A and B are shown apart, each in its own frame.
Chain A
Amino acid sequence: MVYYFNFDPVWRGFGKLLDGLALGLEMAVVSLLAGTLIGIVCAHARLSSSALVRRAVWSYVEFIRNSPILLLIFFVYFGLPEVGIYSLDKYQSFVLTLSIYAGAYLTEVFRVGLVSVPVRYVEAAKAIGLRPFQRQIYVVFPVLFRIVLPSLSNNLISLFKDTSLATAIAVPELTFEAREINTYTFRVIETWLVASGLYLATCYAIAFALRLVERRYAVIR
């Protein structure tokens, strides 16, 4: 059996693929930022003195980390209207889900990061008279940020790949657009080859860019 490659139909739809790619990246970045906020707050809560707070956050993290993300996407997208919340469109619904999802993973990242901020820097900050809030802002967070940076890069790449699941609720990201082309042109292999190539190239680009950022900030020995 011989397969004749014909990429022309794919190239005709290439603009749409790029639009889908941009949308996926945008959703991944927003989710990463929201997830970072959730992660920082929940990581502090995980280290809180209140057992109730610790257990609540632990439940959230465990629930999310042990649920398939596709289930979460359906749960939020179809579940919220059931309880009378109609205000989210499919984009917002997906970003909300991905943020909650990222937040659970980043809670663990930041918890480990917070614990590994060396005590001696905090003591130095105390010794010059910085107040608790100032110690967090000027010393703990900058050191923490440098410690967790590699994990943040990895999370951004996973989140970007996870945006392909938005196809399930018809968000027109890259996978969705590729499937459209596929459906209308039957160029199955060509379409998925190009789409895969775009994912690959983007993930490498993210990794490369963040490696540069890491190198810029890698001042902690």
Chain B
Amino acid sequence: MHKRFGRTEVLKGVSLDIPRGEVLGIIGSSGSGKTTFLRCINLLEEYEVGTIELDGQAIGYRMIAGRRKRLRESEISDQRAEIGMVFQSFNLFPHMTVEQNIMLGLTKVRRMPSAAARTLAGAWLDRVGLTDKRDLYPYQLSGGQQQRVAIARAVAMEPKLMLLDEVTSALDPELVGEVLNVIRGLAHSGMTMLVVSHEMHFVRDIATRVVFMEGGRIAEEGPPGEILMRPRSARLVSFLNRFHGTGSQPAG
């Protein structure tokens, strides 16, 4: 999988290669462009310059006679089906039960018969520990439970890549753990993931590589032990110092 990517304003040239099975942690202060970067990958944001490829296939845009053209909305929809996304604010469909939320993509996008979709939804609900909440509506669940459903909804589609956008930022502290456990399970099962997070402990735990973004650029990247424990740039040091207990000291 290969991505090259640049954008004049918010993203000023971000280039990344993400091998299959990698869990890439993206950290950085707010406004550094990390969420925008994530949202560009599945075309929730448009970008002016650059290309993104998933399994060798250009995502979102295509060069036709030397000119960059946006793909048709239906083609983009098909590509998005291969990329799962979990949002900061859960975004469960409010008019559907937990089970219906998970089944919608399976039946309408994957065109699965509803019995099979229900079985699969049940299996995923079991994995995120919410079997007994199947027939409840989102507003009847806690934030942590909603977010676990949102994760189940995304992974049930068997995407090639998962995008996690600050998935614990809207949660009460005591609910963060249950969500992180589910994500940790996914990481161990070999899912390729891009994880934007402020949970430094968590990033150090699950990421195989960490990218520090600053001002729309990648300022530093490397293995989590190196980036989080022995940061090189002063900016990264001051960023990490704002998260107590990460044990970050400048190298040397």
- Please report A residues at the B interface, Cβ cutoff 8 Å: 120-121, 123-132, 134, 138-139, 142-143, 146, 217, 219-221
Q: Which residue of B44, B74, B82 is within 8 Å of A131 (Cβ)?
A: B74
Q: Is B218 an interface residue (CB 8 A)?
A: no
Task: Give the CA-CA distance A132 to B75 in the complex, in Å.
Answer: 11
Give the chain A neighbours of B42 by CB distance below 8 A: 126-127
Contact B87–A129 (Cβ < 8 Å): no
* Interface check B93, CB cutoff 8 A: yes
When the two chains form the complex, which single residue of A120, A126, A132, A146 contacts B95, counting CB atoms closer than 8 Å?
A: A146
Question: Please, how many angstroms separate the alpha-carbon atoms of A150 and B87 in the complex?
Answer: 30
Q: Given the complex, which residues of B lie within 8 Å of A126, measured CB to CB?
A: 42-44, 77, 80
In the complex, the chain B residue whose C-beta lies closest to that of A146 is B95
B230 to chain A, nearest CB (A): 36
B121 CB to nearest chain A CB (Å): 13
Query: Which chain B residues (112-146) contact chain A, with CB distance < 8 Å?
Result: 137-139
Inter-subunit contact B74/A132 (CB<8 Å): yes
With a CB–CB cut-off of 8 A, which chain B residues contact A139? 93
Instruction: Tell me whether A220 and B157 are in contact in the complex, defined as CB-CB below 8 angstroms, given that A120-B87, A130-B108 are known contacts.
Output: no
- Tell me, in angstroms, the Cα distance from A130 to B103 when the chains sit together: 12
Bound Cα distance A132, B74 (Å): 7
Q: Which residue of A has the minimal Cβ distance to B79?
A: A129
| B155 nearest CB across to chain A (Å) | 11
A220 — which chain B residues lie within 8 A by C-beta?
94-95, 139
Other A-B pairs, 7, CB within 8 Å; known A127-B44, A131-B74, A220-B95: A123-B87, A123-B91, A124-B87, A126-B44, A129-B78, A130-B77, A221-B139
Q: Given A123-B44, A123-B87, A219-B137, A128–B105 Cβ distance below 8 Å?
A: yes
- Are B104 and A219 interface neighbours, CB within 8 A? no
Task: Please provide the 4 A-B residue pairs with the shortest distance between their CB atoms, ordered closest to farther.
Answer: A129-B81, A128-B105, A124-B91, A127-B85
CB < 8 Å: which of A124, A142, A217 contacts B92? A124
| Inter-chain contacts of A217 with B (CB < 8 A) | 95
Given the complex of chains A and B, what is the CA–CA distance between A143 and B105 in angstroms?
17
Q: For A125, what are the chain B residues with a Cβ–Cβ distance below 8 Å?
A: 93
B87 and A128 form a contact (CB under 8 A)? no
Partner pick for A219 among B44, B78, B79, B95, CB 8 A cutoff: B95
B17 contacts partner chain A, Cβ-Cβ < 8 Å: no
Given A129-B81, A129-B109, check contact A124 B93 (CB 8 Å). Answer: yes
Sample 24 A-B pairs with CB under 8 A, ordered by A number: A120-B87, A120-B89, A121-B93, A121-B94, A123-B87, A124-B87, A126-B77, A126-B80, A127-B42, A127-B84, A128-B105, A128-B154, A129-B81, A130-B104, A130-B105, A130-B109, A131-B77, A219-B95, A219-B137, A219-B138, A219-B139, A220-B139, A221-B94, A221-B139
